Amino acid sequence: MAAYMVESGEDAFRKIFKFYKRRHPPPDFSNVLDFSKDVLSDKVVPAKLDPVTVSDVEATRVGLKPVRDWRAFGLQGYPGFIFISNPFLLGSQPFWVRQCLKTYPQKPNVCNLDMHMSLSDTQDIWGKSIHALSCPPSGKREPLTLLEKLRWVTLGYHYNWDTKTYSANHYTPFPADLHLLSLQIAAACGFPGFKAEAGILNYYRPDSSLGIHVDEAELDHSRPLLSFSFGQSAIFLLGGTHRQDPPTAMYIHSGDVMVMSGQSRLLYHALPRIVPVPQDHTPLEMEVCSLASSLQDSTVMEQISKQDWMVCSKYIQSSRVNMTVRQVLGSGQSFPETPAYHQRTDVGQTVEYRDRPANRESGKRKRSSGCASVDTVET
pLDDT tens per residue, range 104-136: 999 999 999 999 999 888 999 999 999 888 877
| DSSP element (H, E) containing 95 | helix 93-98
The pLDDT assigned to 6 comes to: 58
Contact 210, 200 (CB under 8 A): no
Q: Look at residue 3 and tell me if it is in a domain.
A: no
Query: Quick one: how many helices (H) and strands (E) in the chain?
Result: 9, 16
The pLDDT assigned to 167 comes to: 92
Which of 254, 262, 245, 227 shows the shortest CA–CA distance to 83? Answer: 227
Average pLDDT for 61-89: 96
Does position 340 have pLDDT exceeding 60, yes or no?
Answer: no
Average pLDDT for 11-35: 94
Average pLDDT for 357-364: 32
The pLDDT assigned to 350 comes to: 29
The pLDDT assigned to 364 comes to: 36
Burial of 7 (0-12, 13-18, 19+ CB in 10 A): exposed
The pLDDT assigned to 356 comes to: 32
3-state DSSP assignment of residue 56: helix
C-alpha to C-alpha distance for 108 and 104, rounded to whole angstroms:
9
The pLDDT assigned to 285 comes to: 66
Q: Look at residue 257 and tell me if it is in a domain.
A: yes
Indicate the pLDDT class of residue 367, thresholds 50, 70 and 90. very low
Q: Look at residue 222 and tell me if it is in a domain.
A: yes
Instruction: Count CB neighbours of 193 within 10 A.
Output: 11
CATH of residue 320's domain is: 2.60.120.590
Q: Is 269 annotated as a binding residue?
A: yes
C-alpha to C-alpha distance for 300 and 62, rounded to whole angstroms:
6
C-alpha to C-alpha distance for 132 and 143, rounded to whole angstroms:
9
Average pLDDT for 202-225: 94
Which of 157, 216, 159, 167 shows the shortest CA–CA distance to 342? Answer: 216
Task: Please give the angle made by the CA atoms of 210, 212 and 214, to the nearest 5 degrees.
Answer: 110
The pLDDT assigned to 341 comes to: 42
Sheet with 81-84, edge to edge strand ranges: 44-46, 72-75, 81-84, 257-260, 225-231, 320-326, 198-204, 152-156, 110-111
Kindly list the distances between the CA atom of residue 216 and the CA atoms of 146, 224, 286, 328, in Å, as whole numbers in the listed order.
30, 11, 38, 10
Q: Look at residue 368 and tell me if it is in a domain.
A: no
> Which residue intervals of 135-240 are DSSP H helices?
146-149, 176-188
The pLDDT assigned to 337 comes to: 74
Indicate the pLDDT class of residue 42, thresholds 50, 70 and 90. confident
Contact 249, 3 (CB under 8 A): yes
The total number of residues shown for the chain amounts to 379
Q: Look at residue 346 and tell me if it is in a domain.
A: no
Q: Look at residue 359 and tell me if it is in a domain.
A: no
More confident residue, 17 or 39: 17
Phi, psi (deg, nearest 5) at residue 162: -85, -50
- Read off the pTM: 0.86
What percent of the chain clears pLDDT 70, i.e. is strictly above it?
82
pLDDT tens per residue, range 262-314: 999 999 999 999 999 888 777 776 666 655 555 556 678 888 888 899 999 99
Burial of 37 (0-12, 13-18, 19+ CB in 10 A): exposed
Of 6-10, 19-23, 169-173, 276-280, the poorest mean pLDDT is in: 6-10
C-alpha to C-alpha distance for 160 and 203, rounded to whole angstroms:
18
Please give the residue range of the domain that contains residue 315.
12-326
Does position 47 have pLDDT exceeding 60, yes or no?
Answer: yes
What lies within 8 Å, CB to CB, of 200 at 6+ separation is 152, 153, 154, 155, 159, 323, 324, 326, 371
3-state DSSP assignment of residue 272: strand
The count of structural domains within the chain is 1
Does position 2 have pLDDT exceeding 70, yes or no?
Answer: no
pLDDT tens per residue, range 82-107: 999 999 999 899 999 999 999 999 99
Average pLDDT for 321-330: 96
Does position 71 have pLDDT exceeding 90, yes or no?
Answer: yes
Sheet with 248-252, edge to edge strand ranges: 210-213, 269-275, 233-238, 248-252
More confident residue, 157 or 364: 157
More confident residue, 378 or 266: 266
Task: Please give the angle made by the CA atoms of 50, 51 and 53, to the nearest 5 degrees.
Answer: 80
Q: Look at residue 168 and tell me if it is in a domain.
A: yes
Peptide bond into 108 cis (omega under 30): yes
Q: What is the mean pLDDT of the chain?
A: 85
Q: Look at residue 372 and tell me if it is in a domain.
A: no
